[in-house]
Structure 1
Amino acid sequence: MFQSNDKVKAVLKASYGKPKSESFDFSRIEQFFANRAPESTDHVISDKTYQDLDFDEVFMFADRTISRVGQHYLYARLRTIDFREAKTRFLEKITTAFSDDASLREEVGVSLSSLSHQNAYYIPSLFLKPHQEPPHWFWVMKLLPVLSLFILILLPFYPPVFLGLLGVLMINYSIHYWNKNNLFQYIASFPQLLRLNQVAKELLKHEPLKPETDDLNRSVAVLDEVASSMSFFKLESRLQSEVGMVLEVITELLKALFLIEPLVLFHVLKQLNSKRADIDRVFQYVGLIDTAMSISSLRAGLATYCQPQFSKGQKKLIMRDVYHPLIPNPVTNSLTLVDKSVLLTGSNMSGKTTFIRTIGINVILAQTLNTCLATEFTMPLLRVFSTIRVTDDLLNEKSYYLEEVQLIKGMIDESRSEIQTLFLLDELFKGTNTVERIAAGKAVLAYLNKGPHLVFVSTHDVELTGYLKDTYDLYHFTEIVEDDKIVFDYKLKQGDLKTRNAIRILELNGYPPDVIREASELSEQISRAKS
């Protein structure tokens, strides 16, 4: 056992500060988040925003958890902004303890590693999903074992009763194997729940990891009350893998004769049904500890990071050297906003959309992991909504434009909330004509920017800058054409975009001279007409 722990510690030490190389099964990882009931204080990151910001990839980058419980909890945390400070303070306290104490990391890592088996993914089903209900004829199950015992006692004195024993055994065998399907749903999760409770006990021995209230200790004690019943299924699992065929047949015969499995199963399920809150509390505690370990490892592997500063109620956003976590050797940018939003212009591939995603990702990481990829990050508490990727919904017969209209209408509805919100938009109303796109875009952006909300929007419609310059700070990205090459520096620049290189880029990519000449002449005519 000691040698095994040493190996675990060696692996933990080698992997600290590094991303995982394993595959990610999101259909399992998301189960805790997908089935839990959000609290009233929560802001849940919508599927749309999650996909717009590529958060599956962000999760894979950020996830340094050891246990499956930690993976569950980390995923749910990244999808849920909780505006309560106490929860963040406790997480940061533990994260700091792990960052400062390598021996604590290793001891806790050994405990958490016992929950790294794939079966630990099933624990949330024990407190978030309905349990199998006993059949209406369950009372018959209670009588049949008594009848079996009575016949066995009577058998030495009246051998013909053996025929009755065979009849009862046939009935019991039918019920026993009918119950196997019920048991199959829980045979993986029961032993893992026992392990979860044991891990919680081990974690509570460490002074820095003790919570501020006794609620967790009470929940651990409550789960101890059902441990003996659940241990039967842990033994069952071990027997199937370790005993010989003969002993297995004997144990199956005894279990069927006395209907041990269905009686114990429904007894345990009844107990667990009344202890959902306690299982949830223990699960979230272990998940939080593992998430703190993950954040500590994440920070150790970052070239630059900071903890966010929160300016409550202010329409202010300050970022220094902010960057995107998924880009190798990223270009950093800085920005200061006070009582205004941001309108971004620039050509395709210049970095507008990536920058908008960078803002959204960092705002979410700030409020979920208390970590920003920047040297300074000051912000108010913010909900986050986005419309970046928009596609035709052919199954529901929606055009691109209608899909976009409905998404932005959802943002308008959310902007009526008094809770400060960050709106991220990429190219409004691309599915309609220029005149109406500019008119509708100006009206929508002015509406979203009312009150305390912040808006980041990218556009090719430079006309919008004139309409919104009083309420939006203007920034742009641009490419540089030099020596017949297109160079992107991805640096955010203040002010309106002045250069135009679109036709020059066509020329550099081998478009026919006739196309270039006609496009240039027409561009000059349109510019003169607008002037």
Structure 2
Amino acid sequence: MIFKRNTKRDKAYLNSFGKIKEDVFNFDQIERYFRNKKHEDSFQVLSDKTCQDLDFDELFMFVDRTHSKIGQQYLYDKLRNIPSDQHHIERNEVLIQFFTDDPEFRIKTQKQLDKLSKENTHYITSLFQDEHIQAPKWYFLIRILSFTSLLSILLFPFNGRLFFVLFGVFIVNIGIHYWNKKNLYYYIKSIPQLLKLTDTARDLFGQDCFKNIAPNLNSSIATIDKLRFRMSLFKLGDDLGSDMEALFWFVIELVKIVFILEPLLLFGILRQLDKNRSEIEALFVFVGEIDALLSIASLRKSSENYCIPKVSEEKSDLLAEELYHPLILNAVTNSIRVNDKSILLTGSNMSGKTTFIRTIGINTLTALTLNTCFGKAFSLPRMRIFSAIRISDDLLNDKSYYFEEVLTIKKMIEVSQCGKMNLFLLDEIFKGTNTIERISAGKAVLSSLAQLNNFVFVSTHDIELADLLHNEYELYHFSEIVGNKTVEFDYRLKEGKLMNRNAIKILQINGYPESVIQEAYSLALEMDGTLCMNDK
């Protein structure tokens, strides 16, 4: 479809599609919905540890092309929450294609979503996830005072002395009015945005193609609309643009004090909102899903080589064809097939082992959550993701690197026996201890993890570990090309274990003293000989 760009704004929307979003990412706010949501029906919620290992925040900033803060929060939850099935995949793909092929429809949707782009929109989740402030036990006095003010004003023409009653009540009302301000300010960022959310949801629901997302959404919209008048009486957070507006605000504030309206309206609204949490969340999810699908369409547009994965609900091979790491510019692609055996990688530092493990992890995550992968083809079973890649000392809790690793891998062993399919990603297992125990414990743990319905991708510098596991793991390696004065990496995955040892050669290239180099070579030969004798 040819779309005529009528305005600069339309042109900006058109040009933004397929581009990385230039924005400030406030993860404390972005995570609000995810942290407070219950995930009982999820296949897996990605742990903070695995998120750290897979550079999740950087991945999210790359993936996120949403236009609303609601969509941003919803997408974050979507990316960390592996679903139990492929529910709604076909419907979602149809909408993604609409966004891709029809720029006029896409821009119309973007304009609606942009109405929810202010930072305050993040707080809408508090209206259906947080506990609301409860009215005080003496709330009945507020009603009495309000009624007394009204009665005094009505009867004042007949009895002038009622002015003193009204004045006394007014003084009391001032105290209650400003006591209530702290309660009011708690909702100053959320209630006005709820009205915008309702309007946006109504406009989007008017599009026939969106109605399948939430067929009964009109009921939720109507429920919130019943509260619209009372909520709109609060001029929460609005800037005063002129003297007339300031005067009008002063008069309204005076009326609120006389009849002590704000506490009456606020606690009345909160009772209604508390009863209709599910209706508010339905609006949130509806708008969030649309924005997330638009974001996925933009993500695919920006990716030169992406694919839609084939996800099996049964045990199946993992097949990756020309897979790459999406966060690395001009990343090298690699292919692999994993069936009965797991994968053990050898190679020197910086050769690409850990990056390849992360590539598998990230693409597995986006396959199962966004139905999108970075490569020519990717097929895999539905599986949970666990990792032990980036581990550090926890000094505040007095835990050493080794102890942290022990606890992380213990968790892996426990979940490996649960019957569900799992993907385990490990980098240099037990590198916090001595060589003999590292190899012995590593072999035992990796043999255990590779059983049942589990895929393991593990890297190691220990060639001996590769020899011990060759019956249970397929061996692959990454290697470098060492010249007289250069070291070059091709980052290509190669079959078999690494045969060349270039660590000492790299020291030599970097100008280490010749005496150090010669001693290192002599000790290496001596140790190799000892190991060979022990093998016999």
- TM-score of the alignment, normalized to the shorter chain, above 0.5: yes
CA RMSD between the two structures: 1.5
1:369-380 equivalences in 2 (<5 Å): 369-380=370-381
Q: How far apart, in 2, do the equivalents of 1:224 and 1:325 lie? A: 43
Contact map agreement 2:41 2:83 (CA 8 A) in 1: no
Could you report, residue by residue, the CA deviation over 1:388-420 in whole angstroms, capped at 9, with x for unpaired residues? Answer: 111111111111111110111111111121111
- Change in CA separation of 1:239 and 1:460 when aligned onto 2, cut-off 3 Å: closer
- Give the Cα separation in 2 of the matches to 1:5 and 1:127: 39
Q: How far does the alpha carbon of each residue in 1:230-265 deviate from its partner, in whole angstroms, 9 at most, with x for none?
A: 2222x4544745544333222111101111111111
Q: Quote the offset at 1:210 in angstroms.
A: 1.7
Quote the Cα distance in structure 2 between the aligned partners of 1:238 and 1:31: 24
CA shift in 2, pair 1:106/1:457, >3 Å: same
The secondary structure found in structure 2 opposite 1:395 is helix
State TM-score, norm by structure 2.
0.96
Q: Letter of the 2:261 partner, please give it.
A: I
1:14 match? 15
Aligned to 2:87: 86
Give the match's secondary structure for 2:223: helix
Q: Corresponding residue for 1:203?
A: 204
Which stretch has the larger CA shift, 451-460 or 209-218?
209-218
Contact (CA 8 Å) 2:323, 2:375: kept in 1 or not? Answer: yes
Structure 1 counterpart of 2:325, one-letter code: H
Matched, 1:310 2:317: no
The answer to whether residue 350 in structure 2 is matched with residue 349 in structure 1 is: yes
What is the CA distance between 1:154 and its match in structure 2? Answer: 2.1
Structure 2 match to 1:147 = 148
User: What is the CA–CA distance in structure 1 between the aligned matches of 2:188 and 2:419, rounded to whole Å?
Assistant: 48
Alignment correspondent of 1:135: 136
In the other structure, the counterpart of 1:246 is 247
Question: How far 1:43 moved relative to its partner?
Answer: 0.9
Q: Distance in 2 between matches of 1:139 and 1:118?
A: 36
1:106-255 equivalent positions in 2, closer than 5 A: 106-211=107-212, 214-233=215-234, 235-238=235-238, 240-241=240-241, 243-255=244-256
What is the aligned partner in structure 1 of residue 333 from structure 2?
332
Are the aligned partners of 2:480 and 2:490 in contact in 1 as well (CA < 8 Å)?
A: yes
Note the C-alpha offset of 1:221: 2.2
Deviation per CA, 1:55-91: give whole Å up to 9, x if none. 1001111111001111001111111111222233332
Cα separation, 2, equivalents of 1:471 and 1:519: 33
The alpha carbon displacement at 1:530 in A equals 1.5
Q: Contact 1:426–1:458 (CA<8 Å) still a contact in 2?
A: yes
* TM superposition shift of 1:369: 0.8
- Deviations along 1:98-144, one digit per CA (max 9) or x if unpaired, are 11211110111111111111111111011011111111111111111
Residues 134 and 266 in structure 1, CA contact (< 8 A), matched pair in contact too: yes
SS at match of 1:75: helix
Aligned length: 527
In structure 2, what is the Cα distance between the partners aligned to 1:221 and 1:97?
A: 28
In the alignment, the residues of structure 2 paired with residue 257 and residue 229 of structure 1 have an alpha-carbon distance, to the nearest angstrom, of 17
- Corresponding residue of 1:426: 427
Task: Report how far residue 286 of structure 1 moved.
Answer: 0.4
Q: Is the 8 A contact 2:240 2:246 kept in 1?
A: no
Q: Distance in 2 between matches of 1:88 and 1:147?
A: 60
CA distance in 2, matches of 1:335, 1:479: 20
1:339 CA drift (Å): 1.6
Which stretch has the larger CA shift, 427-436 or 308-317? 308-317
1:473-509 superposed Cα distances (whole Å, 9 cap, x missing partner): 1110011112420000000001111011000000011
**Deviations for 1:306-344, whole angstroms, at most 9, x for unmatched residues?**
000012222410001101111111100000111221101
Residue identity matched to 1:15: S
1:520 aligns with 2:514: no
Q: Cα–Cα, structure 1 residues 133 and 330, in superposed 2: closer, same or farther, change >3 Å?
A: same
AA at the equivalent of 1:286: V
SS in 2 for 1:124: helix
Provide the secondary structure at the position in 2 that maps to 1:123: helix
CA contact (8 A) 2:384 2:422 kept: yes
Distance in 2 of aligned mates of 1:151 and 1:278: 40
Of residues 345-354 and 76-85 in structure 1, the stretch that sits farther from structure 2 once superposed is 76-85
Contact 1:97–1:208 (CA under 8 A) maintained in structure 2: no
Pair 1:383-2:378 in alignment: no
Counterpart position of 1:499: 500
Partner of 1:406: 407
Give 2:448's aligned residue. Answer: 447
* Percent identity of equivalent pairs: 47
Opposite residue 382 of structure 2, the aligned amino acid is L
Corresponding position of 2:53: 52
1:171 Cα deviation (Å)?
A: 0.6
Partner of 1:392: 393
Tell me if the contact between 1:91 and 1:288 (Cα under 8 Å) persists in the aligned partners: no
- Contact 1:313–1:452, Cα closer than 8 Å, also in 2: no
Report the Cα distance in structure 2 between the residues aligned to 1:170 and 1:213, rounded to whole angstroms.
50
**Counterpart residue identity of residue 173, structure 1:** I
Provide the rounded CA distance (Å) in 2 between the counterparts of 1:7 and 1:283.
Answer: 29
Distance 1:5 1:39, change over 3 A: farther
Q: 2:507 corresponds to which letter in structure 1?
A: L
Contact 2:41–2:84 (Cα < 8 Å) also in 1: no
Match of 1:489 in 2: 490
- State the shift of 1:203 in Å: 1.1
Contact 1:381–1:420 (CA under 8 A) maintained in structure 2 = yes
Q: With the length of structure 1 as denominator, give the TM-score of the two structures.
A: 0.97
Number of the residue aligned with 1:274: 275
* Residues 123-180 of structure 1: CA deviation (Å, up to 9, x unaligned): 1011011111111111111111110011112222221221111110011111111111
**1:23-53 deviations in whole A, cap 9, x for unaligned?**
1111111111111111323410000000110
Matched to 1:405, the amino acid is V
Cα distance change of structure 1 residues 5 and 41 upon mapping to structure 2, 3 Å threshold: farther
Contact 1:315/1:454, CA 8 A, preserved across alignment: no
Correspondence for 2:461: 460
Is the 8 Å Cα contact of residues 315 and 453 (structure 1) preserved in structure 2? no
Name 2:284's counterpart in structure 1.
283
Q: 2:44·2:82 contact (CA, 8 Å) conserved in 1?
A: yes
| AA partner of residue 167 (structure 1) | G
Partners of 1:236 and 1:60 lie apart in 2 by 31
CA deviation after TM superposition for structure 1 residue 222, in Å: 1.9
- Do the aligned partners of 2:42 and 2:81 also contact (CA within 8 Å) in 1? no
Could you say if the C-alpha distance between residues 90 and 230 of structure 1 is closer, same or farther in structure 2, counting changes exceeding 3 Å? Answer: farther
